[in-house]
């Protein structure tokens, strides 16, 4: 089952109108620079949050560039929204691509990947609300319907389980840092420091505190560069910063749905040392 608003290419669901099979194919020869930084996520895992952090770290490090919003400073690799070869270094990209579609050059260069994951129960709830508000996506009739789409990977970005598994299994081929949304919620400052260390950027304690300040839920909500309110309301009628919590899934998933996620987690990721759910 595949919906109107997605097309499958290279065994992955893309959004119709946001990219093309030809452009995706061209990524095979996309030239990578050692200084490139990629933030890779399954959708609704905290992308815009980590985007704000990575951009702020670079700004405070002295990489001042003019940009009107975070999407412009750190565009999505799979949606060609600018001439990427002309972007100043270090280039910063966001991406929801699975490992098998990532430009092969990323492996050969010293380019860095921050891979951010979020537990699938909160992820599916966030994705459901996003699907209702985003005109580019198929609109579910109910949470129950969306849950079925999600569990079977019949959504934009395909299966969360496959995305996480594939990136995790191939991790040794990349210069990659795994982070979770949950650890960012529980220790934002520690997470910012982890990202700085990984990027090889030394910030003063005061600068780190500034990054943390800029990345709080409330401040991001009011930051016009970070909150994605620049998207036209006919395209997106919701909030990118919706609730920003761990465990909100308990207000939405039934016991049976929660158990189903546990079961699929066990089936698909049970052999890997990853744990996601925080009660």
Query: Which residues does the annotation mark as catalytic?
Result: 96
Closest to ligand PPS by CB, 102 vs 215, is: 215
In whole angstroms, the minimum distance from the beta carbon of 113 to ligand PPS comes to 15
Based on CB atoms, which residue is closest to ligand PPS, 44 or 58? Answer: 44
The residue (of 170 and 242) whose beta carbon lies closer to ligand PPS is 242
Structure token digits, residue 223: 């930051």
Contact residues toward ligand PPS (CB under 6 A) are: 41, 43-49, 122, 126, 129-130, 215, 217, 220, 240-244, 248
DSSP letter at 227 equals: S
Q: How far is the CB of 134 from ligand PPS (least distance, A)?
A: 8
Q: Which is closer to ligand PPS, CB of 174 or CB of 249?
A: 249
Structural tokens at position 251: 């207000």
DSSP structure string for 58-101: HHHTT-----SSHHHHS-BTTS--S-GGGSPSSPEEEE---GGG
Q: How far is the CB of 223 from ligand PPS (least distance, A)?
A: 10
Distance from C-alpha of 153 to C-alpha of 8, rounded to nearest angstrom: 11
Q: Where are the alpha helices (DSSP H) in the chain?
A: 21-26, 47-60, 70-73, 105-108, 120-133, 143-151, 160-169, 181-186, 188-199, 205-214, 217-222, 255-269
Token pair recorded at residue 68: 């009107």
Token pair, residue 218, equals: 């409330």
State in angstroms the smallest separation of the CB of 168 from ligand PPS.
18
């Amino acid at each position: 089952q595949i919906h109107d608003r997605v097309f499958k290419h290279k065994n992955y669901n893309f959004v119709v109108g946001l990219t093309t099979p030809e452009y995706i194919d061209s990524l095979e020869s996309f030239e990578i620079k050692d200084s490139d930084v990629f933030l890779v996520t399954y959708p609704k895992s905290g992308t815009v949050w980590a985007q704000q952090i990575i951009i702020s770290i670079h700004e405070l490090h002295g990489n001042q560039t003019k940009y009107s919003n975070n999407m412009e400073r750190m565009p999505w690799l799979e949606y060609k929204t600018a001439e990427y070869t002309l972007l100043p270094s270090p280039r910063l990209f966001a991406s929801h691509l699975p490992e098998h579609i990532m430009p092969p050059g990323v492996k050969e260069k010293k380019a860095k990947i921050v891979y951010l994951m979020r537990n699938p129960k909160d992820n599916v709830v966030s994705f459901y609300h996003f699907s209702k508000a985003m005109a580019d996506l198929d609109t579910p009739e109910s949470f129950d319907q969306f849950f079925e789409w999600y569990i079977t990977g019949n959504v934009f970005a395909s299966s969360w389980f496959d995305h996480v598994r594939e990136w995790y299994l191939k991790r040794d081929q990349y210069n990659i840092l795994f982070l979770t949304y949950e650890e960012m919620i529980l220790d934002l400052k520690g997470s910012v420091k982890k990202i700085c260390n990984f990027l090889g950027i030394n910030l003063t304690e005061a600068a780190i505190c500034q990054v943390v300040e800029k990345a709080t839920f409330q401040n991001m909500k009011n930051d016009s560069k970070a909150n994605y309110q620049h998207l036209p309301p006919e395209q997106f009628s919701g909030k990118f910063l919706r609730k920003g919590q761990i465990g909100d899934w308990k207000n939405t998933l039934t016991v049976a749905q929660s158990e189903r996620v546990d079961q699929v987690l066990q089936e698909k990721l049970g052999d890997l040392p990853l744990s996601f759910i925080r009660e």
